[in-house]
Amino acid sequence: MEISARNGLKGKVEEVTLGTVMANIHIKVEEPGVITAAITRESAEKLGLKVGDEVSAIIKSTEVIVGKEL
């Protein structure tokens, strides 16, 4: 199945911490990739984003889904 979530970064699990309800997974990403961000136009203009800009893609841990070939 192909999914609409555009950002998939390959990596290796470095650490797994299990709580009662949640788990914290550290993934070491080594391959380069492209990240797509859908932000408001207002934000893009306020930051003056243009091709070539050095930026950071910032993601809250609770938003990351983990995929694995079983």
- Shortest distance in whole angstroms from residue 48 CB to a second copy: 8
CB-based contact 55:37 (threshold 8 Å): no
Kindly identify the residues of this chain, within the stretch 2-31, that bind a second copy according to CB under 8 A: 2-30
Rounded CA separation 12/47 (Å): 33
- Shortest distance in whole angstroms from residue 66 CB to a second copy: 4
Kindly identify the residues of this chain, within the stretch 26-65, that bind a second copy according to CB under 8 A: 26-30, 32-44, 46-65
Tokens of 33: 């990739």
Rounded CA separation 19/52 (Å): 41
Give the footprint of a second copy on this chain (CB under 8 A). 1-30, 32-44, 46-70
